[in-house]
A and B are shown apart, each in its own frame.
Chain A
Amino acid sequence: MRSFRHTSFTDLLGIGLILAVAVFSLVLLVAPSIIVVIISFDTRAYVSFPPEGFTLRWYAAVFEKRELVEAMWTSLKVGLTVTVLCIVLGVPTALACVRGRFRGTTALSVFVLVPHMVPGIVLGVAVLFAGALVGVSPSIWLQSIAITVFVLAVMVRTVQSRLQRLDPALEEAAANLRATSFQSLRTVTFPLLLPAILAGAIFTFVEGFDNLSVAIFTHSFRDRPLPVELLALVQYTSTPLIAAVSGIQIVLAIAALVAVSMSIGLDTANE
């Protein structure tokens, strides 16, 4: 059928231009990370390009800097708390949104989205002020619960879209075999949902670990989380130390990406 196709010069030029911009954008996406990784091995104590020599001392320096290691632990705790809370609160909510036979299932799905649509900075300020009003001061817990509320929608949406595509015949079969709702949930539905929960868990963990907009207002001043610590460090450090932190993050991101693509595939994660 190719004979019908009409190819003109302007057509080729236009498409060529679009594809050129696409390639440029893809390079733009990845180039800064590559440059930072290269910088992180520089032997000089200031950031410059191109680098000279090769050293791992900045990576060692990251783990020798007490504030950074403590901040990483704090963020790790926050990330895990957020993930656990999102699973405990989000998975049943997704079930209610999809399986619920009550009026307002749509309203429920929208309601869950509300905190996610509000700018994180506004949510952070609101939680800080509300806490101050009732005497709850910023802490690792306040930060965790605030970020949970902020990202809960991600978990609900991921599990929800998976639930909607599940074959109802599988649960009916379980019911015909006289399984209780709980049994069919545990032995049939839950295993089928596991990949979606895992993908949701990875994204909520990353948000808990990395979130700055909510965290900057709600974090404990004694246990500063990594993004808050990094924001201060970036402004007052001139050595490639931050580049090494970036390098570590990039490696972790690639690991997370591999985990997601192995659990549900990148195409599904995107939906």
Chain B
Amino acid sequence: MANVTLPSVAARPGLGEFVLEKLLSGRGIWPAMPAILVLMVVAIIPFVILLSLGFSDIEVSRGAIVSRTFSLEYLTTALSDRLYWITFQRSLSLALSTTALCFLFGYPVAYLFLVGGRWTKRLILVLTIAPLLTSGIVRTYAWLVILGGRGVVNTTLINIGLIDQPLRIMNTQWAVLIGMVQIHLPVMILPLIAVMSRHDGNLIEVSQNLGASRLGTLRTVILPLSVPGIGTGSALVFTLSYTTFVVPQLLGGGNYLNAATMIYEQVVFSLEWSKGSVTSLILMVTCLVVLVSIALVSNHFTRWTRERDS
């Protein structure tokens, strides 16, 4: 680049500018250095410490670790504990069904975005982004109001005479599932929309002009092209619903234990930090396994559609 060698005549830089100039003109890694340092200290090193704590016996006093010794005990007890298996199985099936349902309810919205006019598109964007700007607790609270004993669903059903006694929906796994799906729906829709709006709208027109029905176009053109979006959306929804404790805590009424609520109780209430580390590690590893599977499946189908096209 010529500008580096030319003397600056426009202005004489001060010392601060001189340093900045050196840092920014090098096209090197320097501008990213502060971020790398912070990420190392606040994320990478803590992960390593978490890993090491999962393999040790820790004594905690007043929020500080006073002693620790190497031990495989916590890992082996956790892996042979039935409660762990049940809890993780429940979290996994809850997260997977949430992901599947979010796809079933979210994909049609993305399709409507694709075929809709300008105002439909705007409305969809507003309705999906706005919830993400309010807190998950507030959105979960809405379901307490709707599904509760004196909530919207029960009063309506009683008023039209379908039932005499309020249904017990709250504090069941159904309440948790309904809340999970509604709260994570925007996270599925947004990546789908992003992928769909990137493709040429003419493709759909061409397909239909060639005689394909609208359903046929959806199946053979739109769906294959949106595979990357489905992958991203599923990965995000899965991670969030697998690791949330707000929804199970509030809608499950405390007796619904999932992996995240388990970690919360071990770390914050019973101060069993070794157990907490082990549970966190299992959560992270199982989450990673599912994410990698989603990525592999999504890559497989993306490649498959490309090869078939050529």
- The answer to the question of A125 belonging to the interface, with a C-beta cut-off of 8 Å to chain B, is yes
Beyond A216-B264, A257-B133, is A93–B152 a contact (Cβ under 8 Å)?
no
Cβ of B160 within 8 Å of any chain A Cβ, yes or no, is no
Docked complex Cα distance between A240 and B292 (Å): 43
A25 pairs with B105, CB closer than 8 A:
yes
Q: Check if A36 sits within 8 Å of B141, measured CB to CB.
A: yes
Asked if A123 CB lies within 8 Å of chain B CBs, one says: yes
Q: Knowing A92-B34, A119-B284, A242-B141 are in contact, say whether A149-B215 is a contact too (CB < 8 A).
A: no
Give chain A interface residues in 119-144, CB to chain B under 8 Å: 119-123, 125-130, 132-133, 135, 137-138
> A18 — which chain B residues lie within 8 A by C-beta?
108, 111-112, 218
What's the least CB distance linking B155 to chain A, in Å? 5
- In the complex, which residues of chain B have a beta carbon less than 8 angstroms from the beta carbon of A148? 38, 42
**Interface of chain A residues 79 through 103 with chain B (CB within 8 A):** 88-90, 92-93, 95-97, 99-102
| Given known A119-B284, A270-B190, contact A179–B130 (CB-CB < 8 A) | no
Question: Main secondary structure on chain B at its contact with chain A?
Answer: helix
Q: Is the CB of A249 within 8 A of B65?
A: no
Q: Is there contact, CB below 8 Å, between B131 and A132?
A: no
Q: How far is the CB of B211 from chain A (nearest CB, A)?
A: 5
B96 in the interface, Cβ–Cβ < 8 Å? no
In the bound assembly, the distance between CA atoms of A183 and B47 in angstroms comes to 40
Most-contacted residue by chain A among B141, B151, B280, B291 (CB, 10 A)? B141
Are A231 and B249 neighbours in the complex by a CB distance under 8 Å?
yes
Task: Verify A32–B182 contact, CB threshold 8 A.
Answer: yes
CA distance A121 to B182 in the complex (A): 21
Chain A residue contacts of B137, Cβ below 8 A: 212, 227, 230-231, 234
Across chains A and B, the number of contacting residue pairs, with CB separation under 8 Å, is: 334
Check if A193 is an interface residue, CB within 8 A of chain B: no
CB distance from B179 to the nearest CB of A (A): 9
B146 x A32 contact (CB < 8 A): yes
Cβ < 8 Å to A, chain B residues 257-295: 260, 263-264, 267-268, 273, 276-277, 280, 283-284, 287, 291
Known: A22-B112, A183-B10. A123 touches B29 (CB 8 A): no
Distance (whole angstroms) from the CB of B262 to the closest CB of chain A: 10
User: Does the CB pair A93–B31 fall under 8 Å?
Assistant: yes
Binds B, one of A5-13, A53-61, A62-70: A5-13
Q: What is the CA–CA distance of A134 and B42 in the complex, to the nearest angstrom?
A: 12
* A111-B36, A121-B283 known; A48+B150 contact, CB < 8 A: yes
B94 at the interface (CB under 8 A from A): no
Q: Write the chain B residue with the least CB distance to A5.
A: B208
Do residues A210 and B64 form an inter-chain contact, with CB atoms below 8 A? no
Nearest opposing residue in chain B for A119, CB measure: B243
Across the interface, do B135 and A230 meet the contact criterion of CB distance under 8 Å?
yes
The residue that B46 contacts in the complex, of A89, A130, A156, A182, with Cβ under 8 A, is: A130
Contact indicator A25/B193 (Cβ below 8 Å):
no
Please give the distance in Å from A258's CB to the nearest CB on chain B. 10
B102-150 at interface with A (beta carbon < 8 Å): 104-106, 108-109, 111-112, 122-146, 148, 150
Say if the beta carbon of A198 comes within 8 Å of chain B.
Answer: no
Chain B CB within 8 A of A269 CB: yes
A170 at the interface (CB under 8 A from B): no
A100-B28 contact in complex given A33-B131, A149-B43, C-beta closer than 8 Å: yes
B186 within 8 A of A: yes
Q: Please list the residues of chain B having a beta carbon within 8 angstroms of any beta carbon in chain A.
A: 1-4, 6, 8-11, 13, 17, 20-21, 24-25, 27-32, 34-36, 38-39, 42-47, 49-50, 53, 60, 63-65, 104-106, 108-109, 111-112, 122-146, 148, 150-152, 155-156, 182, 185-186, 189-190, 193-194, 197, 208-216, 218, 239, 242-246, 249-250, 260, 263-264, 267-268, 273, 276-277, 280, 283-284, 287, 291
Closest 8 CB pairs of A and B: A92-B31, A32-B142, A119-B243, A253-B133, A130-B46, A175-B3, A126-B46, A22-B108
Additional A-B contacts beyond A26-B112, A29-B185, A130-B45 (20; CB < 8 A): A18-B112, A25-B109, A25-B185, A26-B124, A29-B127, A33-B134, A102-B28, A114-B44, A119-B242, A119-B243, A119-B284, A127-B46, A129-B49, A133-B65, A178-B3, A178-B9, A213-B244, A250-B138, A254-B130, A257-B126
